Amino acid sequence: MKFAVCLSNFGTYADPTQSLRVAEAAEAAGWDGFFLWDHLAFVWGPDSADPWVTLAAVAAETGSLTLGTAVTPLPRRRPQVVAQQAATLERLNGGRVVLGAGLGGNAKEFTAFGEDVDAHRRARLLDDGLTLVRDIWPGPIWIGGNSGAALRRASRWDGWIANSVGIEEMTMTPAELERSVHTISRPDRFDVACNGYSPAGGATLVAEYGDAGATWWFENLSDRRFDANGVLDRVKAGPAR
């Protein structure tokens, strides 16, 4: 299993220099990846930062991390622009880029700008957008979401990002993760990222999700979990291997 920090892009981390500090600490502590949330949080509360601009700054200052979003609501973005952003980021960090993509779960991030939040329309936009992205950029695409439709969509791409955490606790058991992995049923190489909360030294917990089929552990970090110093402390403690 590989391990990534999965960091909020709002609140403290609306300042990209704060995200860069976390990413540099992650690389030094032996994490394999650094992923950012993708929210327009300013429409419902705190300031937020563009994840792709922030990841470009991280790519310029680190040398070993896989970088990506978890997840980008592709229906509210121009897919051709996202493809160009991913390709540009890939050139900066030697090809280790993942586009995490999904429908988007915050209605205000659509309705605040007059965009349709209907789930069926967003699904069509997502599928059309993914096809366009792949026509332009051949990198990994992982699909987020737990619904049957999300799992079927994930089976057509390169990986699945499980929506497995609430605000303060895990919301998906290893058995539930395993059932979803079996639903996807990909015979070839396929990544499964499990969002989670693990304490330093929590290898037993993480191993249970690895046994259930997870190939990546995403350690979710935000202001709701720790203050800025607490986030750095957890990252510096390293992955729960």
Per-residue model confidence as pLDDT tens digits over 164-212: 998 888 999 999 999 999 999 776 789 999 999 998 889 999 999 999 9
Q: Where are the domains of the chain?
A: 2-236
Per-residue model confidence as pLDDT tens digits over 71-104: 999 999 999 999 999 999 999 999 999 999 999 9
Per the CB < 8 A criterion, the answer to whether 142 and 154 are in contact is: yes
Domain 2-236 annotated CATH 3.30.470.20: no
pLDDT at 31: 98
- Name the average pLDDT for the chain: 96
Q: Which H or E run includes 203?
A: helix 203-211
Per-residue model confidence as pLDDT tens digits over 59-76: 999 999 999 999 999 999
pLDDT at 21: 98
pLDDT at 201: 85
Q: Which residue, chain included where needed, has tokens 């999904």?
A: 102
pLDDT at 85: 98
Residue 139 has pLDDT above 70, yes or no: yes
Q: How far apart are CA 91 and CA 19, in angstroms?
A: 20
pLDDT at 164: 94
pLDDT at 105: 87
Q: How far apart are CA 209 and CA 123, in angstroms?
A: 28
Average pLDDT over residues 23-34: 98
Burial of residue 196 (CB within 10 Å: 0-12, 13-18, 19+) is buried
pLDDT at 187: 66
Q: Which two tokens stand for residue 217?
A: 């552990």
pLDDT at 79: 98
Q: How far apart are CA 214 and CA 192, in angstroms?
A: 5
Per the CB < 8 A criterion, the answer to whether 141 and 91 are in contact is: no
Task: Please report, rounded to a whole number, the percentage of residues in the chain having pLDDT higher than 90.
Answer: 94
For 156-194, letters b (16+ CB in 10 Å) and e give ebbbbbbbbbeeeebebebeebbebbeebebeeebbbbb
Kindly report the CA angle at 136 between 134 and 139, in degrees rounded to 5? 55
